[in-house]
Amino acid sequence: MTVLGHLRCVRLLPALAAIALMLLPVAGKAEDAKTVRIGVLDSMTGVFSDFGQQGRPAFQYVIDKVNKDGGIKSMGGAKIELVLADSASQAGRAATEARRLITQENVSLVVGVLLTPEMLAVSPIADEFKTPVLSHSAAGARGDYMFSMGLPYDRGYAKTMVEFVQELNKSHKFNLKNVALVYSNYEAGQQVNKALQRRLTEAGFNIVGEVPLELQSDDQTAAMLRLKSLNADVALGQVSPRNGTGLFRARYSLGFFDTVLIGGTAGYTDPVLWKDLGDKIGQAALTRNLFGFAFSSTASRTPSVQKLTEELRATAKQGHDIGQSAIQGAQAARLIQRVLELAGSTDRDKIKAAFEQVKIPSGDADLYLDRVGGLSFGPDHMPNDSTGVMIQWKADKSQDIVYPAQYATAPPSAKK
Amino acid sequence: MRPEFFGIIRSPFLWGVIVLFAVLGQWASPYHLGIATQTMLYIALALAWAIVGGFAGQLSIAHNVFVALGALLASALFLRLGINMWVGLVLCAALSALIGVFFAYLDSKFSLGHLSFALVTLAFGEVGMLIVAGWDFVGGASGLSLPRDQGRLLNFEFGGARGYFWAALALATVYLLINYAILHSRLGFYLRTLRDNEAAAQAVGVYPFRNKAIAMAISAAMTSVAGTLYARFSNFVDPSFLASPTLSIEIILIATIGGLTTPLGPAVAAIVLVPFSELLRGWLGGQLPGLSHIIYGFLIVAVILASPRGLVPLLVKIFRQRGGKDVATISMQKGA
């Protein structure tokens, strides 16, 4: 008798049966002709949970409105049913959940915050199962079925920031020449940094040094001291919310406000900064010599954005102030409504074709982004108009848009 | 090699379970197949770690470096230089083995205790993450995306979800057999002797460096190979996960929860914990984000409280109470 032969197999059978059951396919749920099932995959936990926690309620709010207003008209008033999932801010987990939503929950499309690494992990699954996926904020769209409302690192982030610096010099006499690059040392921060280096060099700026910020670090005093030692006129870069909080706390502690800080997105522009820093530090560190790059801002004078902002603020679940993630979430919901109206079907290929054709023009009541070119997708499945806005904080925690000029609510002001 | 090992490889039960898993893979849905593949890869990683963590008693927290080498470097060699991933797999495994030997050298040279060894390897794990994040060749913090799998086995492509499941199952099986082979070999005895009392082991002629270096080299190479398969399975090689010391902690957690005294420990723990975590997040993650993490945490605490030596020793105890005898019991009685 072998060693394993001693095992009383029968006693293990229930356990093995349980494991076997987990592996067995679950029968696909019957699709109701009057509903469109949409998978919602956001980072609700983990390091990037701020994006999901803000974006999802706004997304759900708009979808509820769509359903109350009669659903998808081209599909006989079909209601949208949301199947919620959490990516845990991890690319691998996002892929697993995307697979579940598509194959187990039988959704017609997947939408979610899906930052760039999550998008890259999900795109092979989208292609494999030929299911359209819409990301709120990925900087690219890989594969045939992936679309993103986010801004590309180069022609979105870097181009807007560099052109803003040029505008400050040209029209507002800032005289910024020496540039330091301050960025969160992760995927997005590095990619924006590379694009900034190239564009700044081409534009004739002098790059005096780099200050990478460790993503998991809360104390950025050393980084701020390094920035101080560089004697830069301006610091540019993509900064995460956690790094932003650390950076501004250090700025306040060291009383160092000389260098103009320009960057984003959430690390410079999210209302959560005020909550984390407190009013005293916030007023001192956020309202001086700081400009934030954002996808959109609640400061917009565009009627559709103002109306949306009022509605979201009035919603019970939105107890705190709202930021760009909420606007992105609401915009994604309106975009999906348009796409489904165009597709007139839950067929995934028809939905994909509708994504390629959809356009929400500037001035439309369903456009919540300040973009002259409206919202539509190019051949790369990214927005044709990928211009962001630059904001400036005010002492009452509200924002002014300072760039581009056609959407500006106030001129940029230097205050040391 | 002791006869017990040959008993294990001839065991109809062992092969029955493996064939059962393989057959189930034929009908599993893509979602469950994905989770099953991850489970098999975690079994492989936990078994590879258990060679140093369990048999040799060295708490290495740098195994993320070996995963990163296997996943990122092999992918980068393929994408940047066109080196076939099979070749990359071998090169990265060899490089990992060398680094593993270096860790063993540090341990021997500076007579690091268990705690110091853990701290030193943790430092290397962190440094590894920083190197990856700053090294453009392996994709930096952005990672690497591999081309779509077209089922060409010679190019290290296994033809979709089912192919990767079977490949991962085969890898986990081979690793289980390697662990049993080491457990019942002279090396296994030496390692356990060194773990339990290094001074006494040396007194009877067991060389610490040589044996620990061999164990570390085998463990590192196995980890690297599992990393390469993980990369090809996931297509997108995410450094924030595959190079992170958090992954080392996950591997250690699985191996420890299962029990380090038998190769079955890491395997059983991975089979329980990985699907439990994934399925729980699928069920609860959408409606109540974070609750799945809390329940998962409670499960781990419960297992630790119920059986500090691990899940398998707990199962053994239950079997014993019922008058049964199983492989884990015998492994511990005669081997560990």
Q: Which residues pair with A293 in a beta bridge?
A: A264, A390
- Helix, strand or coil, per DSSP, at residue A118: helix
Q: Do B324 and A2 touch (CB under 8 A)?
A: no
DSSP A376: E
**pLDDT, tens digit (0-9, with 9 covering 90-100), for B208-230:** 999 999 999 999 999 999 999 99
Determine the pLDDT at residue A317: 60
How close A129 gets to chain B, by Cα (Å)?
10
B170/B40 Cα distance (integer angstroms)? 9
What ipTM is given for this predicted complex?
0.85
Tokens, residue A64: 């509820």
Of the partner residues B142, B271, B281, the one whose CB lies closest to the CB of residue A190:
B142
CB-CB under 8 Å, A19 with B326: no
Whether residues B28 and A100 touch (CB distance < 8 A) is answered with no
What separation in angstroms does the CA of A102 have from each of A112, A211, B195?
14, 42, 48
| Secondary structure class of A205 (helix, strand, coil) | coil
CB pairs under 8 A between A and B: 172
pLDDT the model gives residue A9 = 43
Do the beta carbons of residue A219 and residue A246 sit within 8 Å? yes
The DSSP secondary-structure symbol of A6 reads G
Residues 6 or more apart in contact with residue B239 via CB below 8 angstroms: B68, B72, B129, B132, B133, B138, B139, B140, B141, B142, B143
Distances (CA, A) of A284 to A4, A178, A248, A251: 70, 24, 9, 9
Decide if B317 is inside a domain: no
Asked if A117 and B238 come within 8 Å (Cβ–Cβ), the reply is yes
Let me know if A57 is exposed, middle or buried by CB neighbors in 10 A (0-12, 13-18, 19+): buried
Taking residues B47-59, what's their average pLDDT? 93
pLDDT in tens, B163-192: 999 999 999 999 999 999 999 999 999 999
How many CA atoms are closer than 13 Å to the CA of A296, on its beta-carbon side?
Answer: 33
Query: Tokens standing for B221?
Result: 């190479």
Please, what sign has the CA dihedral across residues B194, B199, B200, B206? positive
Strand partners, A392: A400
Predicted local confidence at residue B334, as pLDDT? 43
Taking residues B319-330, what's their average pLDDT?
A: 62
Using the Cβ of A26 and the Cβ atoms of chain B, whether some distance falls under 8 Å is answered with yes
Coil, strand, or helix at residue A391? strand
List the single residue in B16, B236, B289 with the smallest CB-CB distance to A91. B236
Residue in B289, B280, B233 with CA at minimum distance from that of residue A89: B289
Q: Assign 3-state DSSP to chain B and report helix, strand, coil percentages, each to 5.
A: 80, 0, 20
Which residue in chain B has the smallest CA separation from A22? B32
CA distance B210 to chain A (A): 31
Contact by Cβ (8 Å): B180, B263: yes
* A270 in B contact zone (CB under 8 Å): no
**Tokens matching residue A6:** 């001693």
How many CB atoms are closer than 10 A to CB A81? 17
Percent of chain B clearing pLDDT 90 (strictly above): 59
- The answer to whether the Cβ–Cβ distance between A6 and B160 falls below 8 Å is no
Stretch 29-88 of chain A: residues touching chain B, C-beta under 8 Å: 40, 44-45, 49, 52, 83-86, 88
Residue A277 to residue A295: CA distance in whole angstroms = 22
pTM of the model: 0.85
Find the CB nearest A95 among B234, B240, B325.
B234
pLDDT score for B328 = 47
Residue B110 domain-assigned (yes or no): yes
d(Cα B65, Cα B224) in Å, to the nearest integer? Answer: 9
Distance CA B247, CA A169 (A): 47
In chain A, the N- to C-terminal Cα span, in Å, equals 84
pLDDT of residue A25: 44
Asked if residue B224 belongs to a domain, the reply is yes
- CB < 8 Å to A3, chain B: 4, 7-8, 11, 327, 330-331
pLDDT reported for residue B317: 82
Q: Which residue has the tokens 């993320």?
A: B64
CB contacts, 8 Å: B31 with chain A:
96, 99-100, 103-104
CA distance A3 to chain B (A): 6
Domain range for B46: 3-261
Residue B127 lies in a domain: yes
Query: Could you tell me which of A171, A248, A186, A172 has the C-alpha nearest to residue A216?
Result: A186
Residue in chain A closest to B145 (alpha carbons) equals A120
Q: Is A148 on the interface with B (CB under 8 A)?
A: no
Longest dimension (CA), chain B: 60
- Residue B55 in any domain: the answer is yes
> Residue A218 contacts by C-beta under 8 Å, 6 or more apart in sequence?
A242, A245, A246
Q: Determine the residue of chain A that is closest to B17 in CA distance.
A: A16
- Quick check: A85 and A56 in contact, CB under 8 A? no
Residue B283 distance to chain A (closest CA, Å): 8
- Chain-chain contact of B38 with A96 (C-beta, under 8 angstroms): yes
Chain B residues closer than 8 Å to A117 by CB = 142-143, 236, 238, 240
Q: What is the nearest CA distance from B83 to chain A, expressed in angstroms?
A: 23
> Can you point out the beta strands (E) in A92-214?
109-112, 133-135, 146-148, 178-184, 206-213
Q: How many domains does chain B have?
A: 1
- Extract the tokens encoding B152: 């060409």
CB contacts of B12 in chain A (<8 Å) are: 4-5
A 349-378 near B (Cβ less than 8 A) = none
pLDDT in tens, chain A (416 residues): 333 444 444 444 454 455 444 544 443 444 445 899 999 999 999 888 888 988 999 999 999 999 999 999 999 999 999 999 999 999 999 999 999 999 999 999 999 999 999 999 999 999 999 999 999 989 888 889 999 999 999 999 999 999 999 999 999 888 999 999 999 998 889 999 999 999 999 999 999 999 999 888 889 999 999 999 999 999 999 998 889 999 999 999 999 999 999 998 889 998 888 888 999 999 999 999 999 999 989 899 999 999 999 998 888 565 567 888 899 999 999 999 999 999 999 999 999 999 999 999 999 999 999 998 999 999 999 999 988 899 999 998 889 999 999 899 999 987 66
Task: Give per-residue pLDDT as tens, B250-296.
Answer: 999 999 999 887 888 999 999 999 999 889 888 888 778 888 888 88
Residue of A nearest to B333 (CA): A3
B138: closest CA of chain A, how far (Å): 13
Q: What integer pLDDT is reported at residue B282 of this predicted model? A: 86
Tell whether B53 is covered by a domain: yes
Domains for chain A: give ranges and CATH numbers: 35-151+302-376 (3.40.50.2300), 153-294+389-407 (3.40.50.2300)
What is the CATH number for B108?
1.10.3470
d(Cα A251, Cα A272) in Å, to the nearest integer?
17
User: 């106030």: which residue's tokens?
Assistant: A410
A4 interfacial to chain B (CB closer than 8 Å): yes
Residue B34: list chain A partners with CB under 8 A.
95-96, 99
Q: Which residue in A45, A104, A189 is closest to B290 by CB distance?
A: A45
